[in-house]
Amino acid sequence: MKSRGMSVAAIAAALLTCMGIAQAQKKAPPPIGALPLDKVVEMLDRNGNGCVDLEEGRNYTSRRYHALDANHDGTLDAAEAPPGPMETTPERPISLEAWQDAYTVRFAGFDKDGNGCLSRDEIEAGRAGLAQGGQ
- Calculate the alpha carbon distances from 85 to 28, 34, 96 in Å: 17, 9, 19
Q: Choose which of 21, 28, 35, 45 interacts with Ca ion (CB under 5 A).
A: 45
Burial class (CB in 10 A: 0-12, 13-18, 19+), 48: exposed
Minimum separation from the CB atom of position 77 to Ca ion (A): 6
**Count of CB atoms within 10 A of residue 84's CB?**
11
Closer CB to Ca ion, 119 or 130, in the complex: 119
Say whether residue 47 binds Ca ion (CB under 5 A). yes
Going by the DSSP 8-state scheme, the letter that residue 92 receives in this structure is S
Q: What is the largest CA-CA distance in the chain?
A: 69
Say whether residue 95 binds Ca ion (CB under 5 A). no
Minimum separation from the CB atom of position 66 to Ca ion (A): 10
Q: Choose which of 42, 73, 113, 121 interacts with Ca ion (CB under 5 A).
A: 73
Q: Point out which residues bind Ca ion (CB under 5 A).
A: 45, 47, 49, 69, 71, 73, 75
